[in-house]
Chain A
Amino acid sequence: MTEPLLFELSSPGRTGCRLPDLDVPESVLPEDLLRDELPLPELSEREIVQHFSRLSQLNFGVDTGFYPLGSCTMKYNPKMHEDVARYAGFIQIHPWQNELTVQGALQLMYELQEYLAEITGLPAVSLQPVAGAHGELTGMLIIRAYHQSRGDEGRVTVLVPDSAHGTNPASAAMCGYKVVTVPSDARGNIDVEELDRLMDESVAGLMLTNPNTLGLFEEHILQIEEIVHGAGGLIYCDGANMNALLGVARPGELGTDVLHLNLHKTFSTPHGGGGPGGGGTAVTEELSAFLPVPVVARRGPDEAAASGAEYYLDYDRSLSIGPVGGFYGNFGVMVKAYAYLRSLGERGLREVSENAVLNANYLLTQIKGYYDLPYERSCLHECVFSGKAQAKLGVHTLDIAKRLIDLGFHPPTVYFPLIVDEALMIEPTETESLETLDAFVAAMRQIAGEAETEPDTVRGAPQTTPVGRLDEVAAARKPDLRWQVARNVTE
């Protein structure tokens, strides 16, 4: 079953909203600037609700079932978050309102900055970035500005491990850096010898993910710090995997100079089908001068009494890289992260990471033996298998992923990290029950069996979805990216 498009459901003369009548005299419209036609669909409210409700049913979300998408931390999203984020005092406030009239919002942002600083061990935080990659861009521009402020102009390269998220090299390139890849060693760590060899005064810094995308903690983290800092570089940490370390370790105490957090991952603000996110970026005291403006700040009691506003937007930073977005970040997302942190507290945060890591290791142990495990170590929040044994039987990782759909699960992240052949990257998170994990293990084992006994079942998957595998090659060859009325007529 597929759902017709809005345009196919449209019927001239329908409308989904009745607006009030004009209550002022009409003015003269600028006739020469007016458009002749507005080719938007015409539907009644009832049809629109039905259409989007049906569309939603074609989606798999965390609310629907197990979503072990590695690196994405698809944990349960508390319903309370949705309610509190919609309080009128949060959504019906304008970003240019006088600070005196939005003290509640500023206080929330200020306190969230403080909590994130405490969790990361990095004292200065900007909540302005709205996504992980946005935080990376912000962080790398900060690193660039830092070197420039010292007259250290020769640092033109950024080192990025071969296991890094694709956004890391792309973000470094957007800052004008040349990207040099650092290989991994046999245990899945950064190759420290190679890092040492590459690290010199032409290098601005290292972009590190810890735990890395193999779900492994960098065993030589303190040595890495010495090497990079020793050569005058800075360490950027991609905090996408912070769900492994809450209350366990603070990146700021492990040599990190700049780190972004994904509020939509670790702090469960949900993903929204691809955003809105929150990419709050934390830095050392030394780098705080370079943060994007404005930063939410707090006045001392005397000053606050004088101005009337305890919390305020601080634009007064001469070394700032400048703003990275139109306003102050995704405030609605911040409200949810704040609610989450107030619900959990220190103990709750540590429980998150402990259970996330326990669940991941449980899956690792139970799936091992059925799929190839490229790095024989216990993992942190996620584990990465290879489907290369199955590939020899003609069943590829993509087939395994699609078969999991038929068995009721969202597939793991596949073909990433790039350093693992036929990778299957599995992140269970802390919010799944043992029963769910066992059911997933059973499905993975079943598919491993099917790869040997009935490979066509796996290769033919999925069978239970509204559409089968779509021809992406044809779609890219002749892209059809929008509905065109003309085409409809000719067909």
Chain B
Amino acid sequence: MSSYIPNTDTDRAKMLETLGINSVEELFEIVPAQKRYPQLDLPDPLSEMEVKRLLQALAEKNSDLNHHPCFLGAGSYHHFVPSVVDHIASRGEFYTAYTPYQPEVSQGTLTSIYEFQSMVCALTGMDAANASMYDGATAMAEAGLMAARVTHRYKLLVASSIHSTYRRVLRTYTQGIGMEIQEIGRAEDGVVDTSQAEQLLDDGTAALLVQHPNFLGGLEDLALLSELAHSVGALLVVCADPISLGLLKAPGDLGADIVVGEGQCLGSPPSYGGPYVGLFACRQKYLRQIPGRLVGMATDAEGRRGFVLTLQPREQHIRREKATSNICTNEALVALAAGTYLAVMGRQGLRQVAELCYHKAHYAAEAIAALPGYERLGGRFFKEFVIRTPVPASEVNDQLWGHGIIGGYELAKDYPDLAQCLLFCVTEMNTRQDIDRLVEALTEIGEER
């Protein structure tokens, strides 16, 4: 018997006797006999020691960021995670609990979610944030759906400067209910073409969706975009990088109605794409249409403060097919990590992280752009920037890997007009030495041309 099952043969015999049956198999006689007990072709069971060895070997087949400077971003970011964060998320009382349906024995989870919601509101400048979505991509898709519920309109205008996977997920999410999606092109400097946005926005538009900083790293003019959207009664949905919000104005202060984002950069490692956490926040007036769980403050009969899941009639377990979303399990533990991270960084620390990213990225961009054959495209940026390379981008990356460096994101697959372009990301994790190594390697690659 596996070490996770306490029942001994004696225990089982005693239980069977209580049930008045001779074998456990009798309990499964309800399963059609010809389909019962299939042979499963699975590897033989291993001991804990063997499983660990096996997984260690698999892990070591991967080249990790502890051993290689990495300049990849594009939706997943390598930021510093203080030890505190994982120690808190590793506490069994947190990670072995279920969704906090019984508030009296879930105040730990509920309080931490309330704090998370509060800090997401502080960052985004919104009035209400939910307990989390699956990731940034699905948060944006749900924002599109929510905008339709709020406005009763079924067209979404989506900036092509948004992460290409996010745009595709939006299409996946809306394919069943039949929303119209139009994409807006980019202006010269890589940000939303505002005159095209103005043209396409009409009284059938539910929302204008933009990313800031956008996928190409550029900083959008949110104030102008919100003015344009609001002038036709559409909402402005902003997908923001929460690290950038340590430095940049809150989208809520610039007119955004819904702010979403990928929260992985707040205390979670890249983890080959997950688990991540979607941030979702909106203005008070749209609260009843928000998807997902919300935690609110409450009091008990003795006046003691506590926290509960609230406004649940929006949710699937009550409203069933009329719910605002089907989401149930979200990313609570990753949200706890994000909340812990924000507490650890605090008012000063998050600003400092953002500044480190900003200055290092600009140092790198300037140095690379100065190399013969390399050119930086786009206008103002935060921590990511586009470089046109003298040789095909994939070749540059292959050669960088030869230097032990994980290069940038190859943009050609998303933007045909950016063939031979790399999107580089620089964070506080990249030392000056790393950056100089990158520049040196790029110099060599350029010279070999």
Q: In the assembled complex, which residues on chain B have CB atoms less than 8 Å from the CB atom of A273? A: 94-95, 97-100, 106, 109, 332-333, 336
Q: In the assembled complex, which residues on chain B have CB atoms less than 8 Å from the CB atom of A348? A: 2, 45
Q: Which of A22, A42, A104, A365 contacts B355 (CB 8 A)?
A: A22
Which residues of A1-45 have CB atoms within 8 Å of chain B's CB atoms? 2-3, 5-7, 10, 14-17, 19-20, 22-27, 29-30, 33-35, 38-43, 45
Q: In the assembled complex, which residues on chain B have CB atoms less than 8 Å from the CB atom of A174? A: 145, 173, 176-177, 325-326
**A358 and B287: CB pair below 8 A?**
no
Which of B182-190, B191-199, B294-302 lies on the face that meets chain A?
B294-302
Q: In the assembled complex, which residues on chain A have CB atoms less than 8 Å from the CB atom of B145? A: 174
Q: How far is the CB of B320 from chain A (nearest CB, A)?
A: 4
Q: In the assembled complex, which residues on chain A have CB atoms less than 8 Å from the CB atom of B75? A: 95, 326-327
How many angstroms from the CA of A254 to the CA of B287 in the assembled complex?
43
Which residues of A260-317 have CB atoms within 8 Å of chain B's CB atoms? 262, 264, 268, 270-277, 279, 292
**A35 and B245: CB pair below 8 A?**
yes
Who on chain A is nearest to B302 by CB?
A468
The residue among A175, A272, A348, A468 with the most chain B CB atoms within 10 A of its own CB is A272
**A93 and B62: CB pair below 8 A?**
yes
Interface assignment of B226: CB less than 8 Å from any CB of chain A? no
**A38 and B347: CB pair below 8 A?**
yes
**A332 and B31: CB pair below 8 A?**
no
**B117 and A19: CB pair below 8 A?**
no
Q: Which of A62, A97, A144, A483 contacts B115 (CB 8 A)?
A: A483
**B62 and A2: CB pair below 8 A?**
no
**B321 and A172: CB pair below 8 A?**
yes
How many angstroms from the CA of A77 to the CA of B38 in the assembled complex?
26
**B178 and A104: CB pair below 8 A?**
no
**B326 and A170: CB pair below 8 A?**
yes
The residue among B96, B298, B315 with the most chain A CB atoms within 10 A of its own CB is B96
Interface assignment of A146: CB less than 8 Å from any CB of chain B? no
Q: Which of B84, B272, B275, B334 contacts A94 (CB 8 A)?
A: B272
**B363 and A331: CB pair below 8 A?**
no
Which residues of A218-274 have CB atoms within 8 Å of chain B's CB atoms? 219, 221-222, 245, 247-250, 253-254, 262, 264, 268, 270-274
Q: Which of B51, B127, B336 contacts A343 (CB 8 A)?
A: B51
How many angstroms from the CA of A475 to the CA of B435 in the assembled complex?
52
Q: How far is the CB of A456 from chain B (nearest CB, A)?
A: 14
Q: In the assembled complex, which residues on chain B have CB atoms less than 8 Å from the CB atom of A141? A: 172, 175-176
Which residues of A345-386 have CB atoms within 8 Å of chain B's CB atoms? 345-352, 354-355, 357-359, 361-362, 365-366, 378, 380
Q: How far is the CB of B416 from chain A (nearest CB, A)?
A: 16
Interface assignment of B150: CB less than 8 Å from any CB of chain A? no
Interface assignment of B232: CB less than 8 Å from any CB of chain A? no
**B30 and A217: CB pair below 8 A?**
yes
Interface assignment of B211: CB less than 8 Å from any CB of chain A? no
Q: Known interface pairs A19-B428, A55-B111, A95-B270. Does A40 touch B172 (Cβ–Cβ under 8 Å)? A: no
Which residues of A28-80 have CB atoms within 8 Å of chain B's CB atoms? 29-30, 33-35, 38-43, 45, 48-49, 51-53, 55-64, 67, 69, 72, 74-78, 80
What are 24 A-B contacts with C-beta separation under 8 Å?
A17-B84, A38-B347, A38-B351, A40-B119, A48-B88, A62-B92, A82-B95, A89-B62, A92-B64, A101-B401, A105-B62, A167-B316, A276-B274, A276-B331, A326-B262, A326-B276, A331-B274, A339-B51, A344-B45, A345-B46, A358-B24, A470-B103, A475-B296, A481-B296
Q: A19-B80, A103-B61, A144-B175 are in contact. List 15 more A-B contacts (CB 8 A).
A: A7-B118, A16-B84, A16-B345, A83-B52, A88-B59, A91-B271, A95-B272, A104-B59, A167-B316, A174-B173, A179-B321, A359-B15, A434-B15, A471-B301, A479-B294
